[in-house]
Amino acid sequence: MLTKLLTLLILLTAAPLHSQDCVNCLPGYNPAPILPVQPWPLELIPIQVPVYPRNSRASFCKRPVDMVDTIVLHHTATSSSASAQDINRMHLNEGTAADPWYMVAYSYLVGAAYPGDSRPANAVIEGRPLDIVGAHAGSNVFLPMTDTQRQIWDSGQVVCGRDGEEFSVNNTLVQNGRIKANVTTIGVSVIGNYSPRSISNPLGYNRSRPRLPSVGTIDMIARLSCQLQKKYPNMKSIKWHSQYHSTECPGTIKNVVGQIKTKAKGYGCDFN
C-alpha cells in the first residue's frame, strides 16, 4: 500500500498538472503558479491547491467541517476555459464596499472539457477551504438542522469575523431554528456553461445541440464526492443549486446527478 502510494505521489509530482491557458483571463492577469497536489488522500482523485488572493477586509465565517452534510452542484456559467483564479478574481469583485466577498465562493472547482473537446485538461481544484463557509446556495436560504449540526451550533463553534480579528458567534446565521444553507453545504462548481443559450445566457449551448457533462466530468465529481465522504462521513447528500432557489444553475448537470451517485457507489460511497 505504501509503495503504491509513493509511486502515485512520484508520478503526480513529476507530470505537468494542469496547463492553465489564459484565453479567458482578464487583462494584466498572470496565472498563479500551480502548486503540487494535496497529499491527502490520493485514493480517488488528486486535488490542486492554488494560492488565491483574498480580501482581508472581508468578513467570513468558520465552521467545523462536520457541520457539512450536503454537496451542492453548480456551473460557473463562464466559458470552460476559465481558470479557478479567474473565478476567484471575479468573486473578489463581488459584494459591496461595506460587505465585500472574501474569496472564491465555491469549495471546489471542476475544470472540465466539454464532450468532444480536449481542452481544458480535466482537474479538480480546491476553492474556499472546507472550514470556511461558502457563498453559493443563496444567502437567504435557511434549512432545518440535524441533531449533530444543532450540537455544533449550540457549542459556539460556528464563528464569524475578519482576518486578524477575534471571531464570534453571529446569530443572524440562524432564524427560527433553521440555519443558513451555506453553513451546512459546500459548493462544487463545474467550470463551464451547461444551460441553453438565451437572452441572459449568451455563452450557453445551442438548443439543437444540448451540452451535457462528459463521462470524465461525471467521474471526477463522483470521485471528489466520495473522497470527501470518506474523510467526512456526515456528507451524505448530493444536491444542485436550483433545489435551493430559482435559477438555471447548474443546467444539464442536474440531469446526471443519478449517474454521479451510481459512480460514487462504485467507489464505495453512498449518497442520497
Partner 1 sequence: MRFQLIVLMFLSANAFSASDKEMDELFRKYDSVMIGHKVELIDEVFTRKFLESAGGKKEFSEGVKELPKSPLKTLAAPKISWKKGLKDELWLAKRAESSDKKNGKDVPSGNQFIIVKENGKLKIDGTMSDAE
Q: Which residues of this protein are in contact with partner 1, per CB under 8 A?
A: 23-24, 26-27, 55, 74-79, 81-82, 87, 89-97, 100, 105-106, 135-136, 138-139, 187, 189, 193, 195-203, 206-208, 241-242, 246-250
Cβ of residue 212: shortest distance to partner 1, in angstroms?
17
Nearer of residues 74 and 261 to partner 1, judged by Cβ: 74
Nearer of residues 26 and 35 to partner 1, judged by Cβ: 26
C-alpha cell of residue 29:
492577469
Crossing angle of the two packed helices 215-231 and 257-266, in degrees rounded to 10: 60
Residue with the three cell numbers 443559450: 197
Nearer of residues 172 and 200 to partner 1, judged by Cβ: 200
Cβ of residue 93: shortest distance to partner 1, in angstroms?
3
Nearer of residues 87 and 264 to partner 1, judged by Cβ: 87
Instruction: Specify which residues 160 forms β-bridges with.
Output: 61, 168
Q: Report whether the peptide linkage leading into residue 120 is cis, meaning its omega lies within 30 degrees of zero.
A: yes
185/195 Cα distance (integer angstroms) = 23
Residue 86 DSSP SS3: helix
Number of C-beta neighbours around residue 139 at 10 A: 10
Cβ of residue 239: shortest distance to partner 1, in angstroms?
15
Nearer of residues 24 and 157 to partner 1, judged by Cβ: 24
Residue with the three cell numbers 451517485: 261
Where do the DSSP E strands lie in 29-83? 47-48, 59-62, 70-75
Closest C-alpha among 154, 210, 144, 212 to residue 179: 144
Cβ of residue 197: shortest distance to partner 1, in angstroms?
6
Cβ of residue 36: shortest distance to partner 1, in angstroms?
28
C-alpha cell of residue 77:
456559467
Nearer of residues 155 and 198 to partner 1, judged by Cβ: 198
Cβ of residue 69: shortest distance to partner 1, in angstroms?
20
